[in-house]
Amino acid sequence: MNMMTPRTGGLALLAVIITVAPIGFTNTYFYDVAVNAMFNAILCIGLNLLIGYAGQISLGHAGFLALGAYGSAIMTTAYGVPPIAAMLISATVVGLIAFVVGRPILKLKGHYLAMATLGIGIIIHIVLKTESKITGGPDGMSLDNFSMLGFTIMGDKMWYWVAGVLLILSAWLALNLIDSPVGRALRAVHGSEVGAEVVGVDTSSYKVLVFVVSAVFASLVGSLFAHKNGFITPDIGSFFGSVHLVTMVVLGGMASVFGSVIGAVILTLLPQVLAAVEQYEAMILGGIMMGTMIFMPKGLLPSILASLKRREAGR
Amino acid sequence: MSAALLQYLFSGLTSGAIYALAGLGFAIIYNASHVINFAQGEFIMIGGMASATMVAAGVPMPLAIVLALLIAMAVGVILEKFAIEPARNADVVTIIIITIGASIFLRGAAQIIWDKEFHSLPAFSGENPIAVLGATLMPQSLWVVGVAGVVIVALWWFFNRTMFGKAMLATSHNRLAAQLVGVGVKKVLLASFALSALLGAVGGVVVTPITFTNYEAGIMLGLKGFSAAVLGGLGNGTGAIVGGLIVGIVEALASGYLSSAYKDAIAFIIILFVLFFMPNGLFGKRGTDRV
Amino acid sequence: MQKLFKWGATAVVAAGFCAVAGTANAADPIKIGAFLSATGPASFLGEPEKKTLEMYVHKLNKDGGVQGRKIELVVYDDGGAGDKASTFAKRLIESDKVDLIIGGSTTATTMAAVPLIERAGVPFISLAGAVVIVEPVKKWVFKTPHTDRMAAEKVFADMQKRGITKIGMISEDAGFGKSGRDQSLLVVKNYGIEIVADEVYSPKDPDVTAQLTKIKNAPGVQAVFNFGFGQGPAIVTKNFKQLGIAVPLYQSHGVASKDFIKLAGPAAEGVRLPAAGLVVPGQLAATDPQKPVVTAFKKEYEEAFKSDVSTFAGHAYDGLQIALAAILRAGSTDKAKVRDEIEKTSGYVGTGGLVSMSPTDHMGLSLSAFHMVEIKNGDWMLMKD
């Protein structure tokens, strides 16, 4: 096997960065931010399969994230379900929900699909806010550490390594999926749905499949995030959350697994960096979003790779 | 008809007309450019904030309103010129992110230029409720409904009876063909942003006496306006109005007869159902897929 | 009573002058961290809180600091989001290494930060309302504002006094209103009052006449109680007037700012609510120990910012004063000592009322801290008992 394909090369580079990065971490706050960035990256890798590869937008994925988080929180605190079981049950339920709503919704196109997914996200958010007897309402609810077989994930450093391993695993899984026949069918769907159908691709099944996969990614991240933070509020499932996630995917680069990682890391770090400029934070964030998309409409990573390639060719 | 039901309908009419006005702006830009402008709500906010703060500073109301409309139009033109036009050929999602970035930027600017407090405008025709068969309606609600009506008639006239309006419609149907017959596509796009910014600001001005406004007021109005426009069928002005009224009335009836906690959810469920059966909204054209 | 004057708010300011510059770490600043919702839906809580902290820290530093040490204030804006609040709290503790944290403008942001603050062991004074923050008592967590339960109790006590037994409840579905509603349902029976209609609105709803019509038509409603903040209660009040509902309208302490009267206009006439003495300094009895404190604070705030003082600004002021007094008594910024001293706060007269904390009470306010006020001629009027 050639070690220098972009795929294995990318994975190796990601692994090296994750291993080396803590050298620069002077305290656990850095670990905390890094863990959040990696969680977002995992979620975005899943979401990018849907947006970048299958060409279907979703403005409701924060809803699935919140369902995973609350599923874990409710099952572990109120019913004493072991965290790992709660996480898997939540992911299964979210997958089923995505499967059931996916079929009718994914028949919609463009902005109508955006509207439908947005609606589903908002409905989930409203339920979480309203059923305060179960969810704690807008004030949120707390939950315990993630423990499994007598082993407990505690502290930001331990979470960092767990998240790092999961991130590499997710990237590897996504890359394999893209290279499989499923991935080729997906790209056909993105290129031209009618065309794909004509050559015999069952487009709606593939779209539903990738919708379910991306929702399950979101749910799993939600469960982990909830355990890591120890407290969750319905905010994580808000419309803004969904928009934030789509922004990460598009900014980093659609149809690029490593682009998702870059987008997630940048948009997780930005608010921390911009905290210093106080009231100018929103203007700068909005300006960066606009500027990147205007000058690099394909997203950061694809645009940078393309310009590198051009330079190489020009030499 | 019971007085309670009538009151629910009045309540729905007030909110619905507000959503409808917000939805119209989405429809116009979509018509000319097939862009959904997620910063549309911010035009509404700018109209409201600019007029309210100027009136508070002592500017006579009519002058303040005209100035607010001009400011919003200028922002619309600048946004199109520097953010949308350079990315004209980009993906739908890319443009969505640009307009979302613009909405964040405008909100950030508004909180610095003005402040974070709530502002209000005096109601145009006083605050005495009008009683009808045991239910009541505020005069300002009639203003909102009336303005929405006038706007829709004016738009119909503009798109069907003026050269420029026809050119805008032609561009929306076939950009290349329009260009070939000498329609300036760039100019049309610019005009569509100016027009929808104007509309948004008009909405902001008439709505502010009812809902108040602050730098974040555009978020909710943008979301509801988008829902109204999609429900009615994108690019269709009448559709946006009908969509807005349906959302408003469903919310009011849901609060009255079902559950006020779930009224927003009920409205979204109805939108979802409509889309399942009519994937292009109530009045939308059936799209054809190009291979 | 001597204690009361000993630890009055002025004591802290005075302490700045008689700074004892003998300690080894005299040069190190006292680091106070804050995470507040300066933007987002709760910005009208976070914004005045932030301005207040900045103003007083600046003032204290100009006067020489506390114990000869300057105060360094680090403020982050969490935008009202719980996950951001928790990250910023971590940043304050780990990266900025603050000695003490003030903040959490809302209950959600406060509670999101509580687990890691408890783990790290940093004194923490929250500026949010809900009773869950201090019940059950958490070792490192304190709060300055009255709880939502107290506000409900104050309102229900007033209703009971007037012979009201059946009321309609309307609340906002976001954090403040939702928690307030839940607490109201919990305590309402103690006052022999029944809630016969229970409706909800979203903070940005343009019209709530549908909900109010339902309440109006509920049989036997003698009063309506609204729990919410921001523009929502102003719209409720206007719609209430529009429908011509003839029973009294009670609001929560969430509307105790002049902005509410401005927005609701003439419709606000006759609205009753529980509020801290801060909104009616002129009407407090001359013997009221709160009078000089709230009068001075109101004057300073309004002179500095040219806008009306709100009780939310007062929460931040109280938090800062309690913290600094505790640091002064502890003689250092040792976290455990400061925590113990905050818990021993006794007889502090703040803008919110008389504060006496204990190991079982990390808020220290009693129901008497609230005054029932009624809006008359566009201003607050203290109601006669």
pLDDT in tens, A131-175: 888 888 888 888 888 887 777 777 788 899 999 999 999 999 999
Number of domains in chain C: 2
Question: Do B255 and C265 lie within an 8 Å CB cutoff?
Answer: no
Residue A195 is assigned to a structural domain of this protein: yes
Does the CA dihedral B112-B209-C226-B247 come out positive or negative? negative
In whole angstroms, give the CA distance from residue B55 to residue B193: 26
| One domain, residues C13 and C118 | yes
Binary contact (C210, B255; C-beta < 8 A): yes
Q: ipTM value of the model?
A: 0.88
Residue C18 and residue C142 share a domain: yes
CA-closest candidate to residue C110, choices C67, C147, C57: C147
Is B11 in contact with C209 (Cβ distance < 8 A)?
A: yes
**Can you tell me the distance from the alpha carbon of A221 to that of A43, in angstroms, rounded to the nearest whole number?**
6
What span, in angstroms and rounded, lies between the C-alpha atoms of B69 and A160? Answer: 51
Q: What is the rounded average pLDDT of the residues B209-218?
A: 90
Closest-CA residue to C373 (of C289, C292, C266, C253): C253
Using a CB-CB cut-off of 8 Å, the residues of chain B touching C211 are 255-256, 260
Residue A265 lies in a domain: no
- Any chains having at least 3 CB pairs less than 8 A from chain A are B, C
Chain A residues in contact with C108 by the CB 8 A cut-off are 138-140, 233, 235
Tokens at C280, concatenated = 């009616």
Cα–Cα distances in Å, from A61 out to A18, B61, B71, B102, B227?
A: 26, 44, 36, 22, 18
Find the mean pLDDT for residues A226-250: 90
Q: How much is the average pLDDT of A265-282?
A: 87
C44 CA: distance to closest CA in chain B (Å): 7
Look at A231 and C82 and tell me if their CB atoms are within 8 Å.
yes
Mutation site for C-interface testing, chosen from B9, B137, B145, B255 by largest number of C Cβ within 10 Å: B255
pLDDT in tens, B61-79: 999 999 999 999 999 999 9
Tell me which chain C residues have a C-beta less than 8 angstroms from the C-beta of B12. Answer: 210
Indicate whether C19 pLDDT > 80. Answer: no
Cβ-defined contacts of C19-25 (< 8 Å, 24+) = C19/C64, C19/C65, C19/C66, C19/C67, C19/C68, C19/C69, C20/C67, C20/C68, C21/C67, C21/C68, C23/C67, C23/C68, C23/C331, C23/C332, C25/C69, C25/C332
Q: Give chain C positions within 8 Å (CB) of B116.
A: 38-39, 43-44, 47
Give me the residue from B89, B104, B223 closest to A289, CB to CB. Answer: B104
Q: In this model, does residue C148 exceed pLDDT 60?
A: yes
* Cβ density class B204-217: b for 16+ within 10 Å, e for less: bbbbbbbbbbbbbb
Which residue is associated with the tokens 């006579």? B60
C166 and C278 housed in the same domain? yes
Structural domain of A156? 33-240
List the single residue in B with minimal CA-CA distance to C216.
B4
DSSP line for C23-82: STTTTSPEEEEEEE--SSTTHHHHHHHHHHHHHHHHHHHHTT-BTTB-EEEEEEE-TT-H
Cβ-based contacts of B253 with chain C (< 8 Å): 210
3-state DSSP assignment of residue C166: strand
My answer on whether C305 and C237 are in the same domain is no
Residue C320: per-residue pLDDT: 94
- Enumerate residues 93 to 112 of chain B having a beta carbon within 8 A of any beta carbon in chain A: 93-98, 100-109, 111-112
| C-alpha–C-alpha distance, residues A301 and B3, integer Å | 61
Q: Which of A293, A295, A298, A300 to mutate to test the interface with B (most CBs of B within 10 A)?
A: A293
| Domain encompassing residue C175 | 149-282+370-382
pLDDT in tens, A33-65: 999 999 999 999 999 999 988 888 899 999 999
Domain shared by C263 and C292, yes or no: no
Distance from CA of A49 to the nearest CA of B (A): 14
Is position A309 within any domain? no
- Rounded to an integer, what distance in angstroms lies between the CA atom of residue A99 and that of residue A207? 10
Separation in Å, CA of A87 to nearest CA in chain B: 26
Nearest residue in chain A measured CA to CA from C179: A139
Amino acid at C331: G
Bridge partners (DSSP) listed for residue C376: C379
Within 10-29 of B, beta carbons closer than 8 Å to A belong to none
User: How does DSSP assign B60-86, residue by residue?
Assistant: -HHHHHHHHHHHHHHHHHHHIIIIIGG
Chain B neighbours, 3+ Cβ pairs < 8 A: A, C
If you write DSSP's letter for every residue of C106-141 in order, what string do you get? SHHHHHHHHHHHHHHT--EEE----GGGTSS--TTE
Q: Are residues C14 and C131 in the same domain?
A: yes
What's the Rg (C-alpha) of chain B?
19
Is B261 near chain C, with CB under 8 Å?
yes
Number of compact structural domains in chain A: 1
The pLDDT of residue C24 is 42
Q: Do C30 and C87 belong together in one domain?
A: yes
pLDDT band at C385 (very low <50, low <70, confident <90, very high): low
CA distance A172 to chain B (A): 26
Report phi then psi at C232, rounded to 5.
Answer: -50, -55
Interchain pair B118, C263: CB under 8 A? yes
CB contact under 8 A, B116 and C40: no
Beta bridge partners of residue C348, listed in sequence order: C355
Rounded-to-integer distance, Cα C52 and Cα C368, Å:
25
Locate tokens 């409905």: which residue?
A: A123
At A3, is the pLDDT very low, low, confident or very high (cuts 50, 70, 90)? very low
Q: Which two tokens stand for residue A212?
A: 């379910």
Express as a percent the part of chain B with pLDDT over 70. Answer: 97
Query: For chain C, where are the E strands, in sequence order?
Result: 30-36, 71-77, 100-103, 124-126, 141-143, 166-172, 194-201, 223-227, 249-251, 272-276, 348-349, 354-355, 370-376, 379-382
Domain boundaries, chain B: 3-277
Verify that C230 and C378 share a domain, yes or no: yes
pLDDT in tens, C236-276: 999 999 999 999 999 998 888 888 898 898 999 999 999 88
CATH classification of the domain holding C358? 3.40.50.2300
The tens digit of pLDDT for each residue in A11-37 reads: 889 999 988 888 888 888 899 999 999
The pLDDT assigned to C15 comes to 41
Report the top-level CATH class of B3-277. mainly alpha
Interchain CB distance below 8 Å, C80 and A235: yes
Residue C229 Cα, gap to closest chain B Cα (Å): 12
